[in-house]
Structure 1
Amino acid sequence: MTKIEIYSKGYCPYCKKAKETLNSLGLAFDEYEITNNEKLTREMYNRSQRKTVPQIFINDRHIGGGDDFHKALKNGELADLISKRAF
């Protein structure tokens, strides 16, 4: 089973767009809300080496932020990572 994780903040429009896209594709994901959570913010940075949200991981592989995620969706990389042909 594909493991999808997203670090996000409640007020972030890029996070909202990425989550809406995942939901529209029928993909389940674990969300880590990092607003006011120093521990999760550090965890996100340690995993991604980035400070911006969203940060998305598929099967522990860092996909990147919102723009990177949508690029992977368009170029087929996302479909390859989750082994679905519905894209």
Structure 2
Amino acid sequence: MTKARNSYTYELVGIIQQKKSKLISNRELYLLTVKLDSHPNVYTVQAFKDKLENQEIWADLTENKFLDQRYTFFCKNYFGKYHLVNWELANIEK
């Protein structure tokens, strides 16, 4: 059996290059422009406050504490768009 695409949690590793604030259906979100190592064809990740497992992420995004950090983004895919649910600092291997 196959699962629906939105039931998987995708792990995307990369950095946030830019952040834009938007309002869609009266829901505030950040549209994150990302550069990913593992998925070079994915350019944006959406962060909705009510979809985040850890509300500290929203505060970090609001205060731009994500700069110069490499993250593993845990995302769900909804209709071809990646929605952030969690993140952690990525291990840098040399």
TM-score, normalised relative to structure 1: 0.29
Task: Name the larger-Rg structure.
Answer: 2
TM-score, normalised relative to structure 2: 0.28
Q: More helix by proportion, 1 or 2?
A: 1
